[in-house]
Amino acid sequence: MEQLLRDEVAQEMAGHDFLTIADLSSEAFQRIIDVAAVLKQARRAPWTRALLDGRSLAMIFTKASTRTRVSFEVGMHELGGFTLFLNPQDLQLGRGETVADTARVLSRMVDGILIRTYAQAEVEELARHATVPVINGLTDSYHPTQVVADFLTLREHKGDLHRLVVTYVGDGNNVAHSLMLGAARVGMELRVCTPEELPPDPRVVAMARRKAEETGARIVLGRDPEEAAQGADALYTDVWASMGQEAEHDRRVSILRRYQVNEELLARARPGAVVLHCLPAHRGEEITDAVMDGPQSVVFDEAENRLHAQKAILALFLGVGEGRAEV
């Protein structure tokens, strides 16, 4: 563990921001997964509580959260640190203070900032003006912390990531974007299957494909879920109407109805294929009860792994590599 947290790859992350997976080298992204696996095995071992002893994380949540909030709060506690939950309406942000001024003030009081909000531009502005690491807990464009947990789960259940074929079915949203960038970093084949009306951002697709050239990954776009699922090692889906899209729910359901992950679609995947969902799930829409509660579902393993993924992110980005803890 000493080397995992203190070598050149770890130093690439220590004290820096985690805004998108695109910002990381392949080695750095895979290192987060490696550290998450070690911390999962060593959960509550006495030495882990020294990793972030006395360090503080400010958590700004504009969007509601279950897994992100709980995993970061518990993760900081288990690593010896503590969190401050900050609702923007309880901050001066809610009365017109700028993001830049908030960043400057918080940087003088805490060791890191987590933000979960709508616009990626807000996260980037916060990071520009903060002098402590900023972690993107989700925006409308990206969900990088989720994908660390996803890939840890895939590695646990399916082995070597670069040999896998993963099919994402549904809306071309923030999760799809981060999955593409993560696949490009590990050499995976990722099939992103969306309706024509709800494609992924072509700029993100182009960026992921450029980065895929470094690892031999394949980013494949498609429209036919049956074809995309054929022979896949894993199927992945997400809600059809994310936070902020509630008014579009009925329209999106009508567009995405044939993109449901059900027993028929799963039968087209490779025998033993696993099913992932970042949650919360709208059962009966993007996924059926039979699949989500079935033997091939690893959805709740994936949810648990949010904790271990966040702990790895915190340990690496909040500066364990600077040598504060004996590990």
Is 308 a residue of the active site?
no
Is 306 a residue of the active site?
yes
For 266-325, give the DSSP string.
HHHSPTT-EEEE-S---BTTTB-HHHHTSTTB-HHHHHHHHHHHHHHHHHHHTTGGGS-S
What pLDDT is recorded for position 323? 38
67 is in an annotated binding site: yes
Residues in the chain: 327
245 is in an annotated binding site: no
Q: What is the pTM of this model?
A: 0.95
CATH topology of domain 146-304: Rossmann fold (3.40.50)
CATH topology of domain 2-142+306-319: Rossmann fold (3.40.50)
Residue 284 near residue 310 (C-beta atoms within 8 A): no
What pLDDT is recorded for position 326? 39
178 is in an annotated binding site: no
Cβ-based burial of 159 (10 A; exposed 0-12, middle 13-18, buried ≥19): exposed
Rounded to whole angstroms, the Cα distance separating 250 from 259 reads 15
Is 140 a residue of the active site?
no
What pLDDT is recorded for position 327? 41
Is 282 a residue of the active site?
no
The residues spanned by each domain of the chain are 2-142+306-319, 146-304
Bridge partners of 113?
58, 134
* DSSP secondary structure code for residue 237 in this structure: E
Given this chain, do its domains 2-142+306-319 and 146-304 carry the same CATH topology? yes
Is 252 a residue of the active site?
no
Rounded to whole angstroms, the Cα distance separating 274 from 276 reads 7
What pLDDT is recorded for position 91? 87
30, 252, 278, 308: the catalytic one is: 278
Peptide bond into 144 cis (omega under 30): no
Task: Chunk the chain into consecutive blocks of 10 residues (it has 327) and report each block's average pLDDT, rounded to whole numbers.
Answer: 90 96 97 98 94 97 95 98 92 87 97 97 98 98 98 98 97 98 98 98 98 97 98 98 82 96 98 98 97 98 98 91 42
